[in-house]
Chain A
Amino acid sequence: AQRVTQPEKLLSVFKGAPVELKCNYSYSGSPELFWYVQYSRQRLQLLLRHISRESIKGFTADLNKGETSFHLKKPFAQEEDSAMYYCALSLYSGAGSYQLTFGKGTKLSVIP
């Protein structure tokens, strides 16, 4: 079964420290992966996707097919990074449609 695993429920780091949010996936095909973020009292929104290979708000994520991972990284955490982060895998669900399969999420808390 295709799935997404985020092993950490909660991650606490000090401001200015590096951040790595882990994501592992299980998928037999060519994966398409995303990171979504939910700030307090805001809706779920896209942070970045692996195909664009861009850096958003200082975050990057590299797809490692050998390790089936898509970890989210940032060299220096900021207080405004505190949020819930979800890793998601795009799966074909039939008739040309694609669905997102989400991990359970990791809550990042940046300590001032």
Chain B
Amino acid sequence: ETGVTQSPTHLIKTRGQQVTLRCSSQSGHNTVSWYQQALGQGPQFIFQYYREEENGRGNFPPRFSGLQFPNYSSELNVNALELDDSALYLCASSFFGRGTEAFFGQGTRLTVV
């Protein structure tokens, strides 16, 4: 059984650029959630994907978008990067439904300059 893996580990982008972050779910899990963790804060929910569709979203603008693939891996895309987008982005995989344990990846550290 493999854990949740994210790539890349670190990334530096310029304001206005676009970025794609990738996540491979834990084997057997069908749901992927993405979180943004700013320095000194707890993770903040961006959105969740199940059956290749977004089915839950936090308070993030549309320039944050995602995809889930048939093998349950996922991408997070951020357009028109802003300085405030600098953060650790966490991917978590789980089974669909309430109360299921979320397994987190190690995160991608994005720096926007």
Contacts and interface: CB of A to CB of B under 8 A. Distances in A.
A55 interface: no
A92 B45 CA distance: 12
A93 B35 CA distance: 14
Given A93-B56, A94-B55, A97-B56, A44 B99 contact: no
B40 A97 contact: no
Contact of B41 (A92, A96, A104): A104
Interface of A: 4, 32, 43-46, 49, 51, 86, 88, 90, 92-105
B98 A93 contact: no
Interface footprint category on B? 20 to 34
Contacts, number: 71
Contact of A45 (B48, B55, B56, B104): B104
7 contacts: A43-B105, A46-B102, A94-B55, A94-B56, A97-B31, A99-B45, A102-B43
B92 to A, nearest CB: 8
Given A49-B99, A100-B102, A101-B45, 20 more contacts: A43-B105, A44-B104, A45-B103, A46-B101, A90-B98, A90-B99, A94-B56, A94-B57, A95-B56, A96-B96, A96-B97, A97-B56, A98-B56, A98-B97, A99-B56, A100-B35, A100-B43, A102-B44, A103-B42, A105-B41
B7 to A, nearest CB: 14
